[in-house]
Amino acid sequence: MSIVVALSRAVDPELAADIQKESVYVSPQLTNLRVLPTLDAVELEIAEGADPETVQAKTLRFLASMMKRTHRFDTKVFLRTERRNRGSLARNVHEELKARGWIFDYGNGQVALSGPVLALGRAIDAKAAELYDRDFRAAPGAFPAFVDAEILKKCGYFDSHPNAVTFACHVVDDIDAIEEFRAANSGTEAVQLPAREHLHLPGTCLNPAACFPCYPTLSKKKIAGDGTAFTWQGRVFRHESRNISGLERLWEFNVRELVFVGTENYVVECRQRALPLIEELAGHFDLEIRVETAADPFFATVSAARTFWQRSQEVKNELRLPVEPGPDGAERTIAGGSVNIHGKFFGERFNIMTEDGSTAFTGCIGLGIERWVLSAFTQHGFDPQRWPAAVRNAIF
């Protein structure tokens, strides 16, 4: 059934989009929420058999939280690159990549990559790594996909993004529980998951932000000189519920990460040096991109306060990449990464110091590889001749 609920005021398109996106975490019985084109009401789709009053009450609490976002910030654009190949944007890119066998979509936010898609993802990652080495002398590293809940708590993740966490669990170490699970899957066709009471949550998560596992490794250390940088490719996991969509929004994806740690000046300077580097990276792949102020998609109950803080401090800049227009024909971009400065947050939480013993500042840049791949195929299409020669030769 569907119900229309009036909003307390008309919202701006940015808030309308966030309300729609974050509504997936309201209730499993709320199967869709759409802000009407008038921007002053929402339409709820409620599952058959659900109690509409309960779902509506949850939705109203959700909307009340989101509607606390009253301040509008002008978006500042720091960088805008143009594409030399002026061809029009390709359509149905994800479907075409699947049809060519370059992507296998498991259907739940996980993909397998091969052929030119894999080659392009690797080329983007490698070029970024090369530039980070050249301009930041970034030391290479490697980190696990698992991250301890203690670390995520220290990073403030549960407090800001509790909806996006993925926990790892296993069957309790109990012979009867394990045997029950084994027997249920022996000679049967459909998978039988263990009973809920037989699952143990050891407090291990799948890492939701590439830079987190780096900070514990710097704990109680003094960073030499003005500062230092690290770079690696991280595997990142975010529970996106029914917002999962092709290469655009995955549950599991790859990020080329750069972390810089040191004095306040060093971190500020690193952020400045990042802009020409991103410009060069986009130029190498002949991509149109934009870098602008943004905020994280915070969980509804803390969205208003944290969005205000993040936007007013201008601590997050997002890289926006064009993708194919929506059903209404409107231009669309997706976040292909971000440049963040964290102040002393991680320095304090993990006791990281500069040479003189004061708390270190940190910042990071994360580039979402699969989103860059999607945007590159959207911008250049499937005719190799439209791609820049160096990239074409490397991937086709």
CB of 365 to Zn ion, least distance (A): 8
Q: Are 379 and 279 in contact (CB under 8 A)?
A: no
In the complex with Zn ion, which residue's Cβ is closer, 342 or 380?
342
Buried b vs exposed e over 27-51: b needs ≥16 C-beta within 10 Å? Answer: bebbbebbbeeebeebebebeeeee
The phi, psi pair for 89, rounded to 5°, reads -65, 140
> How many residues bind to Zn ion according to rule CB under 5 A?
2
Q: Find the shortest distance in angstroms from Cβ 274 to Zn ion.
A: 12
C-beta of 97 vs 339, nearer to Zn ion: 339
Judged by CB under 5 A, does residue 205 bind Zn ion? no
Smaller CB separation from Zn ion, 120 or 261: 261
Burial 68-96 (b: 16+ CB within 10 A, else e): bbeeeeeeeebbebebeeeeebbeebbee
16: contact with Zn ion by CB under 5 A: no
Residue from 113, 211, 218, 376 that binds Zn ion (CB under 5 A)?
211
Residue 199: CB minimum distance to Zn ion, A:
30
CB of 2 to Zn ion, least distance (A): 39
Q: Cβ closer to Zn ion: 103 or 294?
A: 294
First vs last C-alpha separation in the chain: 49
Distance between CA 351 and CA 356 in Å, rounded?
13
Stretch that binds Zn ion, among 9-17, 232-240, 281-289, 359-367 (CB under 5 A): 359-367
Q: Where do runs of H (alpha helix) occur along the chain?
A: 13-22, 52-66, 93-99, 115-136, 149-154, 157-160, 175-184, 264-284, 300-313, 345-349, 369-380, 389-395
Coil vs helix vs strand at 54: helix
* Closest listed residue to residue 236, CA positions, set 316, 317, 335, 321: 335
Q: Does residue 97 touch Zn ion according to CB under 5 A?
A: no
Window of 87-95, 121-129, 228-236, 361-369 that interacts with Zn ion by CB under 5 A: 361-369
Of the listed pieces 85-93, 94-102, 204-212, 388-396, which binds Zn ion according to CB under 5 A?
204-212
What is the spatial distance between Cα 26 and Cα 306, in angstroms, rounded to a whole number?
Answer: 19
The interface region with Zn ion, picked from 56-64, 131-139, 150-158, 208-216 by CB under 5 A, is: 208-216
In the complex, minimum distance from the CB of residue 260 to Zn ion, in angstroms, rounded to a whole number: 10
Residues 42, 229, 267, 364: which binds Zn ion (CB under 5 A)?
364
Task: Find the Cα–Cα–Cα–Cα dihedral 164, 168, 171, 173, rounded to 10°.
Answer: -130
Q: State which H helix or E strand residue 231 sits in.
A: strand 227-237
Site for Zn ion in 131-150 (CB under 5 A): none
Q: Which is nearer to Zn ion, 278 or 364 (CB)?
A: 364
Q: How far is the CB of 391 from Zn ion (least distance, A)?
A: 27
DSSP codes of every residue in 353-387: EETTSSBPEEEEEEEEHHHHHHHHHHHHTT-GGGS
Q: Output the smallest distance, CB 395 to Zn ion, in A.
A: 27
Nearer to Zn ion, 30 or 211 (CB): 211
CB of 234 to Zn ion, least distance (A): 9
Binding site for Zn ion (CB under 5 A): 211, 364
